[in-house]
């Protein structure tokens, strides 16, 4: 007997009190169900405030097959968990674009460039609008 195995009479070893959960059918099904979902990381352009973020998240969560939606304004990114048997990444992008925003799949290294392109296009759009308003406002 080792020192760890010898426990004075009347005491209980802590290891005897800890019972690890056994793998049950319900637990196994839950893991399989969780693996059935896919994740999409998108670059989203055209957002100007937290209201834009909330409207994208709420609208996508109301769509069938979307499990989670998380959009960040500061990085112009969105992460969506969805059931690939019910919806596809293309459908998610189309839904965001139908709301008036730009969306594209975020790829490593590509996401920063795409975000910069979207921001530059947004700046050009606002600059054009400003110059047109300035021209008509001065006359």
Summarised one tens digit per residue, pLDDT across range 58-104 is 999 999 999 999 999 888 889 999 999 999 999 999 999 999 998 88
pLDDT tens for each residue of 8-45: 555 555 545 444 444 444 433 333 344 578 898 998 88
Its domain, for residue 125, covers 36-138
Task: Judge whether 43 lies within some domain.
Answer: yes
State the CATH number of the domain containing residue 100: 3.30.70.100
Rounded CA-CA distance 24/88 in Å is: 32
- 49-67: pLDDT as tens digits: 999 999 999 999 999 999 9
Q: How many domains does the chain have?
A: 1
For residue 68, the SS3 value is strand
| Cα torsion 108, 64, 103, 57: sign | negative
Residue 28 lies in a domain: no
Residue 30 lies in a domain: no
Global pTM?
0.56
**What span, in angstroms and rounded, lies between the C-alpha atoms of 51 and 98?**
16
């Amino acid at each position: 007997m080792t020192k760890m195995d010898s426990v004075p009479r009347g005491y209980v070893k802590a290891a005897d009190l800890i019972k690890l959960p056994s793998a049950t059918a319900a637990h196994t099904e839950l893991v399989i169900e969780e693996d059935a979902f896919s994740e999409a990381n998108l670059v989203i352009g055209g957002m100007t405030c937290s209201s834009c973020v909330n409207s994208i998240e709420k609208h996508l969560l109301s769509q069938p097959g979307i499990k989670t939606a998380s959009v960040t304004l500061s990085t112009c990114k969105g992460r969506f968990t969805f059931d690939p048997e019910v919806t596809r990444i293309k459908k998610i992008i189309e839904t965001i674009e139908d709301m008036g925003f730009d969306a594209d799949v975020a790829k490593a290294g590509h996401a920063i460039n795409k975000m910069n392109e979207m921001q530059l296009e947004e700046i050009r759009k606002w600059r054009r609008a400003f110059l047109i308003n300035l021209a008509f406002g001065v006359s």
